[in-house]
Amino acid sequence: MTVTLPSGQKYEGELVRYDDFVVALRQADGKQRSFRRRGGEPSVEIDEPGTAHRQLLPSYTDKNIHDVTAYMVTFK
């Protein structure tokens, strides 16, 4: 994840905590940093590989899901 402060300074690391009040990350060197959130500041970008897949879920029809599960049953 990346936290960008209003000053433009950026911090990158692994997400530890994220809610309406605090965002915390662990940097590559193991140091943990926390930032108080006020509205949309600081800016937070979370790079999560599964996000694109979750965004597709509403577009699947019942037939799509049935076809996928029917195909998966054929695996041994």
Q: Where are the domains of the chain?
A: 2-73
C-alpha 65/C-alpha 69 separation (Å) is 6
Q: Tell me what the pLDDT averaged over the chain comes to.
A: 92
C-alpha 38/C-alpha 20 separation (Å) is 8
Task: Give 53's pLDDT tier (boundaries 50, 70, 90).
Answer: confident
At 42 the pLDDT is 95
pTM listed for this prediction: 0.62
* Residue bearing tokens 């970008």: 45
Q: What would the mean pLDDT of 48-70 be, rounded to a whole number?
A: 89
Position with higher pLDDT, 36 vs 39: 36
Quote the tokens at residue 71: 């195909």
Task: Give 14's pLDDT tier (boundaries 50, 70, 90).
Answer: very high
C-alpha 76/C-alpha 73 separation (Å) is 8
